A and B are shown apart, each in its own frame.
Chain A
Amino acid sequence: MTVGLFIPCYIDQFYPNAATATLSLLKKLGVDVVYPTKQTCCGQPMANSGFEHLTQGCNNLFIENFAEFDYIVSPSGSCVLHLKDHLHAESSENEAQAIGIRKKIYELTEFLTDVLKVENLTASFPHKVGMHQSCHGQRGLMLAQMTELVAPAYSKPMHLLNMVQGLEIITLNRPDECCGFGGTFCVAEEAVSAKMGKDRVADHVHNGAEYITAADMSCLMHMEGILRRQKSNVKVIHIAEILNAQEF
C-alpha cells in the first residue's frame, strides 16, 4: 500500500510542523508514504468564492500528482471534502481517474480509524486539550456526530485523542460551532468572522484548554490569529502533532 501525502498549500507554507508530524506518524504506523513534490492546492479557495470554473488547472495538477496512489491522505478535512465533492477531470476519458481519487482520498484521522484501524498509539501529551470539530470534517466527512441530529454520538478524532497518554479533553459549551474562518469569508465578512473566532476561542479558554486542536489547520490558523492578538498563553496544535507527540 502506497499512500500519497497531500499537504494543502497553506499548511505547506505556514504550518510545516503539521505536515512533518503527519508524515512521521504515518511512517511510524508502517505506511509507505510518498509526497509528490509538484502539488499545490485543492482549488477550494476559488470554488467557495463562486469561481469553481477557475479550478480546472488545480484539478488537472491534482490528478497528475495523485492518480497513481492506493490512498491519498491529507491533514485537512476541508480540502479533502472539497476534492471528494468537486474534483473533475478536464476530459471525460480521465474522469475515471478523478472519481478514483474522490473514493480513495482520506482525511488523516479517518484514515487512521477506518483504514489502518488504529487501536493504540504510543503518543504522550500531558495537557488539557480542547477539540475543535471543524465543520467540513465533521459534517461533510462525518468525522463526528452532529449535535443537531438525533443519532448516537461518536468522534473519530476524539477516539484517537483518547489513546494519547496524559491527555485530558476538556468539555465545551458548544461542541460543534463554526470558528468563522470560512475561506475568503474571513476577509469578505470580516466583522462576523472575527467575532465567531473570538467566541469560539473564549469557549476553549473558559473551559481550561491549554491547547486547541483540530483535524483542520485552517480553523486553527484563524483561532491562533485571535489568541495571539489577545496575547493568550493558549496554543493551537494540529491533531497530527499530538498523535505524534512524545512529551512526558
Chain B
Amino acid sequence: MSKGTKDHAQLSDVFNADEARVNWHDETLWFVRAKRDKAAHNLPEWEMLRETASQIKDNVLSNLHDYLVQFESMAQENGIKVHWASNGEEHNQIVHSILKDSGVDRIVKSKSMLTEECHLNDYLQHNGIEVIDTDLGERIVQLANEPPSHIVLPCIHKKKEEIGDLFHEHLGTPEGMADPVFLTAAAREHLREKFITRKAAITGVNFAVAETGEFVVCTNEGNADMGAHLADVHIACMGIEKLVPERKHLSVFLRLLARSATGQPITTYSSHFKRPRKGQTMHIILVDNGRTTQLGRPDFRNSLKCIRCGACMNTCPVYRRSGGHSYHTAIAGPIGSILAPNLDMKEYADLPFASTLCGSCTNVCPVKINIHEQLYKWRQVIVKEGYADPKKAMAMKAMEFTLSKPAVYKTAGKAGRWVLKHIPFAVNNKLNLWYNHREMPAVPKQSFGEWYKENVKHD
C-alpha cells in the first residue's frame, strides 16, 4: 500500500469529514480497550507478566542468532522444511516456488500480518495463484479490495450494513441483510467449500519455540487449523523475531496476548504445529525484511518485541479518530509508526508525527515497548535525514531565534499580543489551522514578566 500523494494528516482529514462515523469508530475501539482493561485488572500479577514477557523478549533479541539456528535444527529434525528470506520479495518467491512445485494454483491463507507486509497476495495473484483469506475480517476486506485497517480486527472500519452489501454482491446473500449471525453463517458456508477443495494452506506464526522447533498459531475462528489440517502443503510464514526460547515461556505470552488484544483470557484456538502429518509437507519461512536493520538501531531495537496484539491501536486516541488506513502501511497505529520508518524512511516520514506523544501505547503494551519515546526519537532521525517539510524547518529556526534570546522573545511576545488584540483578523483566518475549530486565547493586559517587573519588589 502506498500513500500516494496524501500523508497521515491529509488522510485523517478525509476520515474526519464524517464525524458520526469517527464517533462510531472511536467508541468501537474504546469498547475493546475497556474489555482489555477488565481482563488485565482481573490478574493481580499483570505487571509482573508484562515485565517477564519484556525480559524474555530482550533475551531473544540479544541471542537471536543462536535461537534461530536452534529452532531451524529442531524444526528440521521434526520434518519441517525451513527456508530463509532476507526480504519480502524473497519470501514471496519462496512461497510461489513451493506452490509451483506442488502444482497448486488455489490456496487458503489464515491471518498473517507478515504476508501483508510482504504484499504476498498481490504477488501470488500476479503469478496466477488465487488466494482466499479465511479469517472472516480479512475475507471481508479482501472482498472489498481493501487492506486490513487493524492487525487484529482487519475490518473494524466497516459497519455491518456495508458487510451485508458486500456479501450480497459477492456471496449472494439477500439484499439489505445485515444480521451478523446470518452473515457469519453465509461466510462459514462460503469458506467451508474453500477449505475442502484447496490443497495448500498458508498460516502465520504467533510464536515459534527454539527448544522444540514447534510453532503456535492463535486464532478465534479455527480457520488456521481448518486450512492446515485439510491441506497437503502447509506453509507457515514468520518474522525472525517471533521466537521464544522455551515452551514454558508460552505460558507468559499466551496469557498476555488475547487479554491485550480483545480482553479474552486466551484465544479460542492456540494450535501447536510441530511436525507434518503423514503425507503432508510442512514449510516454515523465516523472514528478515528489515528486522536485522532495526535490531542494529539501539533506540529502536526493542520494537521487535511486539507480539501484534493491537492494544496500542485500540488505546491510541489518534488511531481511533483517524482509522487504520490513514497510516498507509500494513501495520497501522503507534507500533506501525515506529516499525514503518525502518522499512522506508521517506515514505513513512509522516507516521512518527501522527501522535501527541501521550504515552498510552507504552503503558498498554504487554511487552513494555517504549513506543512513544521511540516516536520522539524517530522524529529526530527523520528531521536529521532531511525528510522534514522545508517550511516547518524554517518555522523552527525562527522559533529557535526568538526563544533563545530573552530580548527578542519579549519584543516578539508583545508584538504578537498586540496583533491579536488590535488586528485579530490577521490571525483569525483560514491560514491559521488552529482557528478552524478553536478560538485563539484571549489577550491579557500584560505578560507575567511585565507584571512581575511592575509589581514585585526586588532586592
Q: Which residues of A contact B (CB under 8 A)?
A: 7, 9, 11-17, 19-20, 23, 35, 37-41, 43, 45-55, 57-58, 60-61, 135-136, 139-140, 146-151, 174, 176-178, 180-199, 221-222, 224-226, 228-229
Q: Are B399 and A181 in contact (CB under 8 A)?
A: no
B322 on the interface (CB 8 Å rule)?
A: yes
| Number of A-B residue pairs at CB separation under 8 A | 211
CA distance A1 to B443 in the complex (A): 35
Could you say which of B43-51, B182-190, B213-221, B226-234 contacts chain A? B43-51
Chain B residue nearest to A42 (CB atoms) is B403
Q: Which residues of B274-333 have CB atoms within 8 Å of chain A's CB atoms? A: 315, 317-318, 321-322
Q: Choose one: B46, B379, B436; the contact of A48 (CB below 8 Å).
A: B379
CA distance A226 to B98 in the complex (A): 58
CB contact under 8 A between A57 and B403, given known A16-B451, A37-B449: yes
Q: Which of chain A's residues have a CB closer than 8 A to the CB of B443?
A: 14
Tell me the minimal C-beta distance from B265 to chain A in angstroms.
15
CA distance A191 to B379 in the complex (A): 20
Q: Are B451 and A189 in contact (CB under 8 A)?
A: no
Q: Which of chain B's residues have a CB closer than 8 A to the CB of A16?
A: 444, 446-448, 451
Q: Which of chain A's residues have a CB closer than 8 A to the CB of B178?
A: none
Q: Are B379 and A150 in contact (CB under 8 A)?
A: no
What does DSSP make chain B's interface, helix, strand, loop or mixed?
A: helix
Q: Choose one: A23, A177, A225; the contact of B441 (CB below 8 Å).
A: A225
Q: A37-B449, A177-B360 are in contact. List 16 more A-B contacts (CB 8 A).
A: A12-B413, A14-B444, A16-B447, A35-B456, A37-B453, A46-B396, A47-B376, A51-B393, A55-B400, A57-B403, A150-B40, A150-B41, A181-B356, A183-B356, A191-B13, A196-B318
CB contact under 8 A between A189 and B406, given known A49-B396, A54-B400, A197-B438: no
- Name which of B364, B379, B437 has the most chain A CB atoms within 10 A of its CB: B437
CA distance A147 to B441 in the complex (A): 31
What does DSSP make chain A's interface, helix, strand, loop or mixed?
A: helix
CA distance A7 to B453 in the complex (A): 14
CB contact under 8 A between A13 and B417, given known A148-B37, A192-B12: yes
Chain A residue nearest to B459 (CB atoms) is A34
Q: Which of chain A's residues have a CB closer than 8 A to the CB of B354?
A: 189, 192
CA distance A170 to B29 in the complex (A): 25
CB contact under 8 A between A197 and B437, given known A16-B447, A54-B397, A57-B404: yes
Tell me the minimal C-beta distance from A144 to chain B in angstroms.
12
Q: Choose one: B8, B40, B397, B416; the contact of A13 (CB below 8 Å).
A: B416
Contact with A along B431-459 (1 / 0, CB 8 A): 00110111111111011110111001000
Q: Are A15 and B383 in contact (CB under 8 A)?
A: no
CB contact under 8 A between A46 and B30, given known A16-B444, A182-B355: no
Q: Choose one: A39, A51, A53, A151; the contact of B47 (CB below 8 Å).
A: A151
CA distance A62 to B414 in the complex (A): 21
Q: Are A58 and B404 in contact (CB under 8 A)?
A: yes
Q: Choose one: B30, B318, B437, B444; the contact of A15 (CB below 8 Å).
A: B444
Q: Choose one: B44, B392, B437; the contact of A49 (CB below 8 Å).
A: B392
CA distance A212 to B358 in the complex (A): 19
Q: Are B441 and A48 in contact (CB under 8 A)?
A: no
Query: Which interface class (under 10, 10 to 19, 20 to 34, 35 or more) fits B?
Result: 35 or more
CA distance A136 to B358 in the complex (A): 7
Q: Which residues of B228-247 have CB atoms within 8 Å of chain A's CB atoms? A: none
CA distance A32 to B274 in the complex (A): 70
Q: Which of chain B's residues have a CB closer than 8 A to the CB of A38?
A: 406
CA distance A226 to B382 in the complex (A): 32
CA distance A147 to B440 in the complex (A): 32
Q: Choose one: B30, B317, B448; the contact of A7 (CB below 8 Å).
A: B448
Q: Choose one: A13, A185, A196; the contact of B413 (CB below 8 Å).
A: A13
Q: Choose one: A48, A53, A193, A225; the contact of B376 (CB below 8 Å).
A: A48
Q: Are B26 and A58 in contact (CB under 8 A)?
A: no
CA distance A55 to B308 in the complex (A): 36
Q: Which of chain A's residues have a CB closer than 8 A to the CB of B317?
A: 177-178, 180, 196
Q: Which of chain A's residues have a CB closer than 8 A to the CB of B442?
A: 14
CA distance A1 to B191 in the complex (A): 74
Q: Which of chain B's residues have a CB closer than 8 A to the CB of A192?
A: 9, 12, 16, 318, 321-322, 354
Q: Top 7 A-B pairs ranked by shortest CB distance?
A: A57-B404, A225-B438, A182-B356, A50-B379, A50-B383, A194-B437, A178-B358
CB contact under 8 A between A180 and B413, given known A139-B363, A190-B9, A192-B318: no
Contact with A along B387-419 (1 / 0, CB 8 A): 010001100110110011110010001001100
CB contact under 8 A between A43 and B26, given known A13-B417, A14-B441, A178-B360: no
Chain A residue nearest to B316 (CB atoms) is A178
Q: Are B439 and A148 in contact (CB under 8 A)?
A: no
CA distance A149 to B311 in the complex (A): 13
CA distance A198 to B47 in the complex (A): 33
